[in-house]
Amino acid sequence: MYKVAAYIEKDPETGPYVGTVPGIVGANTQAETLDELQKNLKEVFELCLEKMTPEEKKLLLEFIGIQQIEVSA
């Protein structure tokens, strides 16, 4: 079993949620609801795993956390 963290944003102009799994090329999708997005992300992650070699799977990043950074402009 593999676990990854997904980065989720909501497009303020068009409205759908957009999800991306950092570090995995092609692991991104969108949906109208968060439940639908989670289902879509799981499907796309499973498809990406099917294409990965055992060596690539070993390199999957461990999620540590998110930090908010503030800078003055």
Tally of domains within the chain: 1
Q: What is the pLDDT of residue 29?
A: 96
**Cβ neighbours of residue 69 closer than 8 Å, sequence gap 6 or more:** none
49 and 2 Cβ atoms separated by less than 8 Å: yes
Instruction: At 18, list the tokens.
Output: 């957009």
Q: What is the pLDDT of residue 28?
A: 94
Give the domain CATH number at 45.
3.30.160
| 69 lies in some domain | no
Tell me the residue range of the domain where 17 lies.
7-58
Q: What is the pLDDT of residue 31?
A: 96
| 20 lies in some domain | yes
Q: What is the pLDDT of residue 51?
A: 93
Q: What is the pLDDT of residue 6?
A: 92
For every one of its 73 residues, what pLDDT tens digit does the chain have, with 9 covering 90 and above?
A: 888 889 999 978 888 999 999 888 899 999 999 999 999 999 999 999 999 999 988 888 777 888 889 999 8
Q: What is the pLDDT of residue 2?
A: 84
